[in-house]
Structure 1
Amino acid sequence: MTGNGFPGSVIFAHLKVIESQVLSTRRWIWGRLVYVAGLRLDDGKLLIVISDDSPQTMIADYGRRWGIETLFGMFKTRGFCLESTHFLDATRLSKLLALLSLALCWAVKTGEWLHQHRPIKIKKHGRPSQSVFRYGLDYLRSLVTNLDLKHSEFLLSLQFLSCT
């Protein structure tokens, strides 16, 4: 509900794909007075964003934030399990983040190369079965765990590091 009794899906129902609207006045939502904006995504779904300030840039700000969330997801549960390290020393953590950043770039570059040669399968709902990052990471992991059998493929994959 957006404070006037109507759900956001009704208020923003008129939006066409990639069209957005910021409501002109603040609304009471969950006991807070906030700005509300809606964006119709390219898959037809509705994204509703609320914010205490910056009403004209809140959707763009959310987009940048989502990119950061995706990055943290790759560092943590969807990739490198960074949270399992339990590092407390800032210097060691900084070095680990630097190495993981290189590994992430390597996985993405590898995934892009793989996707050009063997495109990622698209599921029935229209989304890829996996991310480019995951595609590359899984491939690199298979090389490293089978170096005796995949030595030449591993050496080829090292070339992607020169692009990072």
Structure 2
Amino acid sequence: MWGHWVYVAALRLEDGSLLIVATNRQPQRAIADYGKRWSIETLFGCLKSRGFCLESTHLSEPERLSRMIALLTIGLCWAFRTGEWLAVQKPIVIKKHGRKARSIFRFGFDFLRRTLLNLEERQTELLQALQFLSCT
């Protein structure tokens, strides 16, 4: 395209749909690279607009930002593990288009937020959720 090589790679997904990736790099790695990129995009979405609102902290000093990201990473893992547990208790609704109404992360995040904002009424839920922070 306009004097540059463009490669196309495709993969049939479990639901039967086709994932098509265009790249100017190694086509053999295009699908794997796209998967990694999508995972990173999902992570940043959870840390930013779809969860913890990292950008609203306005942190710019590297050491403080590093500590904040470490703390948010623990929170993200906690929310995800809590969401997995909740999804076993009550599966997430599947919408007409075939995707979940909300992500596992969001399911756990919303539960933790409700619990932490209403500690007097939700002590039992807090104790259950705290178990996911333990390695034992």
Which TM-score applies when normalising by structure 2?
0.92
**Pairing 1:112–2:109 present:** no
Task: Tell me the distance in 1 between the aligned counterparts of 2:135 and 2:51.
Answer: 21
Q: Deviations over 1:8-41 (max 9, x none)?
A: xxxxxxxxxxxxxxxxxxxx2x664321222233
Task: Tell me the distance in 1 between the aligned counterparts of 2:85 and 2:72.
Answer: 20
Point out where structure 2 has 5 or more consecutive residues left out of the alignment.
none
Match of 2:60 among 84, 88, 93: 88
Matches within 5 A, 1:2-151: 28=1, 32-151=4-123
Where relative contact order (Cα < 8 A, 6+ residues apart) is larger, the structure is: 2
SS at 1:56 equivalent: helix
Q: CA RMSD in A?
A: 1.6
Which amino acid is the alignment partner of residue 71 of structure 2? L
Which amino acid is the alignment partner of residue 138 of structure 1? D
Task: Tell me the distance in 1 between the aligned counterparts of 2:10 and 2:130.
Answer: 44
Task: Tell me the distance in 1 between the aligned counterparts of 2:39 and 2:46.
Answer: 11
Larger Rg: 1
SS at 2:6 equivalent: strand
Same amino acid, percent of matched pairs: 60
Point out where structure 1 has 5 or more consecutive residues left out of the alignment.
1-27
Q: Deviations over 1:42-69 (max 9, x none)?
A: 3333322121211111111111111111
Task: Tell me the distance in 1 between the aligned counterparts of 2:74 and 2:37.
Answer: 21
The number of aligned residues is: 136
Which structure carries more helix by proportion?
A: 2
Task: Tell me the distance in 2 between the aligned counterparts of 1:151 and 1:141.
Answer: 13
Instruction: Name the structure 2 match of 1:157.
Output: 129
Moved >6 Å (runs of 4+): none
Task: Tell me the distance in 1 between the aligned counterparts of 2:3 and 2:32.
Answer: 25
Which amino acid is the alignment partner of residue 66 of structure 2? S
SS at 1:49 equivalent: strand
SS at 2:15 equivalent: coil
